[in-house]
């Protein structure tokens, strides 16, 4: 990853949590053998167990069928979605 966009997103979401006095944390993905480049995914984890997953690039494909409900996944403009996925989403 060549940009620091994930750090700007992380800072903005942390500011929103503070401004709204909400419990939670914001975590950026770290590089590793089974993971993608640092910052590929930014996760907002709220105190009530809900959250939001933001895909910053195509290194980690969104899991539209898994435990992260489609309504809780956000993709950056450069992450393209196929037509079938777009038609299936609520």
Query: How many structural domains are present in the chain?
Result: 1
In a domain, 23, yes or no: yes
The pLDDT value given to residue 11: 92
In a domain, 51, yes or no: yes
Predicted TM-score (pTM) above 0.75:
no
Residue 17 pLDDT exceeds 70: yes
The pLDDT value given to residue 34: 64
In a domain, 36, yes or no: yes
In a domain, 90, yes or no: no
Contact indicator for 74, 26 with CB cutoff of 8 Å: no
Give me the DSSP letters along 27-76: EE---BTTB-STTSEEEEEETTS-EEEEE-SSSS---SSSSS-GGGEEE-
33-88: pLDDT as tens digits = 566 778 888 888 888 878 888 888 888 877 777 765 545 777 766 776 667 766 66
In a domain, 21, yes or no: yes
Structural Rg of the chain based on CA atoms = 13
Domain boundaries, position 54: 5-85
With 0-12 / 13-18 / 19 or more C-beta atoms within 10 angstroms meaning exposed / middle / buried, residue 44 is buried
The pLDDT value given to residue 75: 72
């Amino acid at each position: 990853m060549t940009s620091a966009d994930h750090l700007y997103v992380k800072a903005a979401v942390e500011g929103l949590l503070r401004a709204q006095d909400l419990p939670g944390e914001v975590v950026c993905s770290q590089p590793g053998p089974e993971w993608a480049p640092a910052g590929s995914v930014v996760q907002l984890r709220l105190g009530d167990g809900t959250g939001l997953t933001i895909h910053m690039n195509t290194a980690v494909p969104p899991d539209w069928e898994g435990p992260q409900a489609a309504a809780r996944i956000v993709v950056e403009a450069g992450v393209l979605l196929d037509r079938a996925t777009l038609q299936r989403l609520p």
